[in-house]
Chain A
Amino acid sequence: DTGVSQDPRHKITKRGQNVTFRCDPISEHNRLYWYRQTLGQGPEFLTYFQNEAQLEKSRLLSDRFSAERPKGSFSTLEIQRTEQGDSAMYLCASSPRGFTRGDNEQFFGPGTRLTVL
Chain B
Amino acid sequence: AQTVTQSQPEMSVQEAETVTLSCTYDTSENNYYLFWYKQPPSRQMILVIRQEAYKQQNATENRFSVNFQKAAKSFSLKISDSQLGDTAMYFCAFINGGGADGLTFGKGTHLIIQP
Q: Report A's interface with B, CB cutoff 8 A.
A: 31, 33, 35, 40-48, 50, 55-56, 58, 89, 91, 93, 95, 99-100, 102, 104-111
Q: Report B's interface with A, CB cutoff 8 A.
A: 4, 33, 35, 37, 42-47, 50, 52, 91, 93, 95, 97-108
Which secondary structure dominates chain A's binding surface? strand
**Chain A proximity of B34: nearest CB distance (Å):** 11
Q: Are A48 and B44 in contact (CB under 8 A)?
A: no
Of A42, A43, A48, A110, the residue contacting B101 (CB under 8 A) is A48
- Complex formed: what's the CA distance from A13 to B99 in Å? 33
- Complex formed: what's the CA distance from A58 to B44 in Å? 22
Which B residues touch A93, using CB under 8 A?
45, 103
Q: Are A102 and B52 in contact (CB under 8 A)?
A: yes
Of B46, B52, B97, B107, the residue contacting A41 (CB under 8 A) is B107
**Chain B proximity of A11: nearest CB distance (Å):** 15
Q: Are A110 and B44 in contact (CB under 8 A)?
A: yes
Q: Are A31 and B47 in contact (CB under 8 A)?
A: no
**Chain A proximity of B92: nearest CB distance (Å):** 8
**Chain A proximity of B24: nearest CB distance (Å):** 14
Q: Are B105 and A44 in contact (CB under 8 A)?
A: yes
Which B residues touch A102, using CB under 8 A?
52
Q: Are B99 and A42 in contact (CB under 8 A)?
A: no
Q: Are A105 and B43 in contact (CB under 8 A)?
A: no
Which B residues touch A99, using CB under 8 A?
98-99
